[in-house]
Amino acid sequence: MAQRVKSSLSFSESRLPEKDSVSRRSQAILILSAAIGGINLARVVNDEELSQEILATVRQQLLSFTQKVIRHGRSTSNLSE
């Protein structure tokens, strides 16, 4: 399992524009953690509507986050602008 996580992180890292590899690594961890957490949370709730809301929200927020990262090409600490 660790190797699969490392592969997923490397894949994400290679597509992020950060010049600083530590920032890229942190962003990749955040993206993967949010995606997996959202999927797991959606699976455990006993309410189909809530499950779909969780998945849609996580997807929307991750897309927004990654678009900002790519557009700005800089540290996420400045992404609230």
Residue 66: the pLDDT is 86
46, part of any domain: yes
Does the pLDDT value for residue 81 go beyond 50?
no
> Can you tell me the distance from the alpha carbon of 27 to that of 71, in angstroms, rounded to the nearest whole number?
14
Residue 61: inside a domain, yes or no? yes
Domain count along the chain? 1
Q: For 6-65, what is each residue's pLDDT tens digit?
A: 999 999 888 888 677 778 899 999 999 999 999 999 999 999 999 999 999 999 999 998
49 or 75: whose pLDDT is higher? 49
Q: Does residue 80 register a pLDDT over 50? A: no
Q: Residue 22: its pLDDT value, please?
A: 77
Return the pLDDT at 76.
47
Quick one: pLDDT at residue 24? 87
In a domain, 16, yes or no: no
Buried/exposed code over 17-27 (b: 16+ C-beta within 10 A; e: otherwise): ebeeeebbbbb
Q: Which domain covers residue 40, as residue numbers?
A: 21-73
